[in-house]
Amino acid sequence: MSYQVQYLHRAIKNLQEIYDYISEDSITLADKVIDEIDDRVADLEQMPAKYSIYPDKPTYRRMVVGSYLVFYKIFEEKKIVKIYLIVHSKRRFDSLLR
């Protein structure tokens, strides 16, 4: 059975910030990065448990997409995956996960 993937408002804002930053140098590259993130997130519909639990906040899972980290939670009872945060891997992000 497939899961429904939902981006929280903050994750949508993260994607827009990533796009805006990269597009200052290259719109083509910005499109490519966002498409890659979207494609990988879409894969969560079929296999959400594929990626590791984030050890510092074990209620989250972490997926690596290029230089970016996608943090999400699986809600088994409702068959929903919620995307909470998308950040560059060099950014300090622990305080952003609540």
pLDDT in tens, 52-67: 999 989 999 999 999 9
Which residue in this structure is represented by tokens 């498409």? 35
CB 59 within 8 A of CB 71: no
Domains and CATH numbers, the chain: 4-89 (3.30.2310.20)
Number of neighbours of residue 45 by Cβ within 10 angstroms:
14
Using pLDDT thresholds of 50, 70 and 90, give the confidence band for residue 91. confident
Using pLDDT thresholds of 50, 70 and 90, give the confidence band for residue 95. low
* Ranges assigned E (strand) in 1-98: 4-7, 61-65, 68-75, 80-88
pLDDT in tens, 23-56: 999 999 999 999 999 999 999 999 999 999 999 8
Q: Whole-model pTM? A: 0.91
